Amino acid sequence: MQQQAGVLYVVATPIGNLGDLTDRARKVLSEVDLIAAEDTRETRKLLGHFGISGALIAYHEHNETAVTPRLLDALEEGRNLALVSDAGTPLISDPGYTLVAAARSRGLTVTPVPGASAAICALSASGLPSDRFLFLGFPPRGQARRLAWFEAVAREPGTLIIHESGKRVLATLQDIESVLGGSRRLVIARELTKRFETFLTGRAEELMRRLESDEQQRLGEMVVLVEGCPDGDGDARQEECARVLRVLGESLPLSQAAALAARLTGGKKNALYQLGLDLGLGSESDRHPSGTRPGGPRDSG
Ligand code: SAM
């Protein structure tokens, strides 16, 4: 008889306050056969606090390619595994993607055991719009790459969420100001769930001054949130309409393309027709319908 495969549990752990380890996470961590941990010493401390003595295996960015096949074999042999990172939810700026993707592609069961994640935790209490957001992880180190990285999201209407360290936060704020402008609201969420949890709100310039004058505010872990582009929604919509019109315009006259695009995008047919003209779609007669050519009969009188 074929052995039933084990389950891979993706387990979130606290980002500071140990009270945030869920009951379910405790149960899973104490019952699995093996725990794949980013840093076994850190996880051993966490487990020790809860009186759990599980078997650990190191699983981090430098060995994940080598260790993944062993973990997959263990799952296929019927062993249950938990994946944890040092803090928060695995895979979110943390190792685990290789294992989870490989397990899924082998048809193995992967199940999340949710809990803290600094990005969502920061967003939930930031006061910035939370209906739409873009998680960006850590900015690149070099300034040229960082500027290009911000440039690529300059029109994003949702709140931007960035992981950052105290050492680099001033340089990042400087780049945010130069690429995204000085008028957006920012929030720095620091030491979340810990004793010195702080939320600082302001424009880039104000926050830079605050952080320069108060070294304390650069200590510990932080998430930087940036208000989205104020007219980014309109831009994104316009781009979508243009994309639909271009595709339809390849095989339909502009009037029909505009009518169909209106049904597909919910836009107004006349506005889409005009957008099509602005994009250079349509025939000469669309651009100058009879009697409306510049200098034509209807122009003259
Ligand atoms: N996987 C983790 C999660 O889900 O929260 C994130 C891991 S990432 C390597 C570490 C970064 O998360 C830190 O540099 C910081 O930006 C953010 N972070 C983690 N814990 C935090 C905390 N208590 N307060 C603020 N930011 C935190």
Instruction: Find the mean pLDDT for residues 102-113.
Output: 98
Q: Which ligand 1 atom sits nearest the alpha carbon of residue 87?
A: 2
Q: How far is the CA of 150 from the centre of ligand 1 (A)?
A: 20
Q: Which ligand 1 atom sits nearest the alpha carbon of residue 119?
A: 5
pLDDT digits (tens, 9 = 90+) for 181-237: 999 999 999 999 999 999 999 999 999 999 999 999 999 999 999 999 988 767 667
Q: Which ligand 1 atom sits nearest the alpha carbon of residue 193?
A: 23
165 Cβ closer than 6 Å to some ligand 1 atom:
yes
pLDDT digits (tens, 9 = 90+) for 27-57: 999 999 999 999 999 999 999 999 999 999 9
- Residue 113 DSSP SS3: strand
Q: Which CATH architecture has domain 119-226?
A: 2-Layer Sandwich (3.30)
223 Cβ closer than 6 Å to some ligand 1 atom:
yes
pLDDT digits (tens, 9 = 90+) for 114-167: 999 999 999 999 999 999 999 999 999 999 999 999 999 999 999 999 999 999
Instruction: Name which of 36, 42, 40, 33 is nearest 11 in CA terms.
Output: 36
Residue 288 pLDDT > 70, yes or no?
Answer: no
**7-116 and 119-226 have identical folds:** no
For 188, other C-beta atoms within 10 Å of its C-beta total 25
Strand stretches in the chain, DSSP E: 7-11, 34-37, 56-58, 81-84, 109-113, 133-137, 159-165, 186-190, 198-202, 221-226
3 pLDDT band (50/70/90 cuts)?
confident
Q: How far is the CA of 212 from the centre of ligand 1 (A)?
A: 22
pLDDT of residue 240: 81
Q: How far is the CA of 177 from the centre of ligand 1 (A)?
A: 23
pLDDT digits (tens, 9 = 90+) for 86-99: 999 999 999 999 99
List the domain boundaries for the chain. 7-116, 119-226, 232-293
161 Cβ closer than 6 Å to some ligand 1 atom:
no
pLDDT of residue 233: 66
pLDDT of residue 282: 82
Residue 292 pLDDT > 80, yes or no?
Answer: no
164 Cβ closer than 6 Å to some ligand 1 atom:
yes
Q: What's the fold here for domain 7-116?
A: Cobalt-precorrin-4 Transmethylase; domain 1 (3.40.1010)
Choose between 1 and 301: higher pLDDT: 1
